Homo-oligomer: A and B are copies of this chain.
Amino acid sequence: MTFWEKLAEASRRNQSLLCVGLDPDPARLGGMPVAVFVQAVVEATQDLVCAYKPNLAFFEALGTGGMQTLLEALRGVPARIPVIADAKRGDIASSSRFYAQALFEAYDFDAATVNPYLGHDSVEPFLEYGDRGVFLLCRTSNPGADDVQGLRLKDGRTLFEAVAELANRWNTRGNVGLVVGATWPEDLVRIRALCPELPFLLPGAGAQGADLGQALRAGLDAQGGGVIVSASRQVLYASSGDDFADAARRAALGLRDEINRERDALLARR
């Protein structure tokens, strides 16, 4: 089963376009071990999500045991829920090959985020894993995204529009998606117009303050799908007390249902 099939099945089963980002900050866990915290969040939310997305930075910061901790943290993720490694890797081909091997073989992630700055040959080693998903960074959710991605090209396009069009060209195996911050709904409209077929991973829905309705209106494809809405802090830190897992569940449930309501309302108006 490819990542996309697994994603569609999890999305259908859980009636969800919500991906929970697993970005555990030890300073916010009140002394609880990272793996235990993440396991509890996963247990509390696994019937509400279409995917999980651990950000590797948070595990690498733990030192040499970090990736073992990540595997432990993910132990309770049901096999039917895909896991997207938020890794933002990218290197010259001979090195990217080893990053792809790490993510797709050593850790067996279903998908990964990849940085396009080094060009096609740097991305191709990831794409060669045809059953895995590769989300290219296009328009990231952060305030400084404009510094580089927003630069205006000679032909009138912005850089992120050019990257979106490259993603279409590089998608020879049908396994390319794009990371587009839900924080930029107007840009999302333009990227959807350029890439009607590509799935979008939309971070920024929660703590980063994006408007869900706007993001969905802009991002949904012609079939009313093609988006994964990712939220991390809003779910993980919904409560700083002992009820963090229950609170994470309530936050995830609220987000899932809000996404579904917004989507249904949008589709009803189409």
Chain A interface (Cβ < 8 Å from any Cβ of B): 23, 25, 55, 57-58, 60-68, 71, 86, 88-99, 101-102, 105-107, 115-122, 137, 140-149, 151-154, 156, 159, 162-163, 166, 203, 233
Contact = CB atoms under 8 A, between A and B. Distances in A.
Nearest to A152: B154
A205 to B, nearest CB: 13
B159 A147 contact: no
Q: How many copies does the complex hold?
A: 2
A146 B25 CA distance: 37
What 6 pairs between A and B have smallest CB-CB spacing?
Answer: A119-B144, A119-B147, A121-B144, A57-B98, A60-B102, A92-B142
Contacts of A63: 67, 102, 106-107
Contacts of A101: 61
Contact of A57 (B25, B62, B96): B96
Contact of A147 (B68, B120, B152): B120
24 contacts: A23-B94, A25-B98, A55-B98, A57-B97, A57-B99, A58-B98, A63-B67, A64-B67, A64-B71, A66-B102, A86-B91, A86-B95, A93-B142, A116-B117, A117-B140, A118-B149, A120-B144, A121-B144, A122-B140, A148-B162, A151-B162, A152-B154, A153-B154, A154-B154
Given A55-B91, A64-B71, A119 B145 contact: yes
Contacts of A233: 94
B117 A55 contact: no
A204 to B, nearest CB: 9
A115 B90 contact: yes
Given A64-B68, A122-B144, 15 more contacts: A23-B95, A55-B91, A57-B97, A58-B98, A60-B98, A63-B67, A63-B107, A64-B71, A86-B95, A88-B115, A90-B115, A92-B141, A116-B148, A121-B144, A154-B154
